[in-house]
Amino acid sequence: MALKGIQVLEIAGLAPAPFCGMILADFGAKVIRIDKAPGTDFEDNFVSHGKLSVGLNLKHPDGVEVFKKLTKTSDVIIEPFRAGVMEKLGLGPKTLLQLNKGLIYARLSGYGQEGSLSQKAGHDINFLSYSGVLSMLGPHNSGPLPPSNLLADFGGGGLICALGILLALYDKSKHGLGQVVDCSMTRGAAYLASWLFRSHHSPLWGQSRGQNMLDGGCYFYKTYKTKDDKWMAVGALEKKFYDNLLIGLRLSAEEVPQFSEFDSANKIISDRFKMHSQAHWINVFKDLDACVSPVLSIDEAAKLDHNVMQNSFVKSCDVNAPVPSPEPRLSLTPSHSRSSQSRPPIVGEHTLNELKILGYSEDEIHALAKRNAVFFAYGNSKL
């Protein structure tokens, strides 16, 4: 595994930071989630498989000291707070990089470490709104609509943060020095949309939201409902694909010429798709290279022959459902697929073992637990 031997401290937070840690764990890193006491906060376990959990009270001086000791033996820290929170705890990058000059200190926040918004709370929809991206998303006859919390939280946040960590680790391999990775979900979402920003004033995006070629405003690049209330996705942009689309629909170029008037062409194609079931259209287009595909549910995608053959999904023991396998796939150092199948840790499950690895004695661990500086999975009294 590519990241075997890398130790990561992930301070518990919501979706973006856990997703970043999940990526690193999937590719072999030892990821230790630093948790608060059980029940004191929402625990995002949906992307915490393959990790360890150490319960620390970072508002207690002794908890801070334990964290500093962990830092000395770690390669990466991921912190998910607003600007200045870690500094108030005495755990800012200036302090920790003095303890470990090779430390990669990843800061994953909504708005970055500086500027008028850096202290402001927010969620994916807010980061998208400030990035300019949200204004381009959604149908033209309603308000802007985010695609769940995928773009800012996971794409512009967790994924780009993981990229930043890997870049910093590569740079460290040259000279041994760590650095701060400042990842703003607002900036990250905008960066993901670089193509949209750069093409915004081209003919592709000359209209308002939802009326352009690639955002639902083009009748040969959208979804169509079938007779059984399912959907087909059409992406027949190029002429050769559009010609095959018409062949599959048994329509002529005279009836629906490419780049004809939207409303009339949309109605003709929509009415044609409604004549038959999704299964019928799957069969029609299976051998026609028209960029036409069924819109599958999550469960259907996991059962698709192609995805089964590629092991695109694995069964997870914690949600009792298929979950995506790690991507990308490396030929020499593949990901840890079992990581995706394992359960998330119980808060404080690995506190005792990790403290022993740090060199704490049983008596010292008992004392830390009594002072509520550290926490264990089944309560400090059961140590």
What lies within 8 Å, CB to CB, of 85 at 6+ separation is 79
Place of tokens 């470990």: 100
d(CA 82, CA 69): 24
Catalytic residue among 153, 182, 336, 350: 153
> How far, in Å, CA of 310 to CA of 301, rounded?
12
336 is catalytic: no
Clarify whether 201 is annotated catalytic.
no
- CA torsion angle for 355, 361, 364, 368 (degrees, to 10)? 20
CB atoms within 10 A of CB 21: 32
3-class DSSP assignment, residue 176: coil
Across 144-176, b (16+ Cβ under 10 Å) vs e yields bebeebebbbbbbbbbbbbebbbebbeebeeee
The backbone torsions φ and ψ at residue 361, rounded to the nearest 5 degrees and listed phi first, read -85, 165
Q: State the DSSP code for 382.
A: G
Going by C-beta distance under 8 Å and a sequence separation of 6 or more, which residues neighbour residue 341? 49, 314, 315, 316, 317, 323
The number of C-alpha atoms within 13 Å of 204 and in the hemisphere containing its C-beta is 12
Q: How far apart are CA 139 and CA 135, in angstroms?
A: 11
Q: Which of 60, 123, 276, 280 is the catalytic position?
A: 123
| Phi, psi (deg, nearest 5) at residue 146 | -75, 150
Catalytically annotated residues: 123, 153
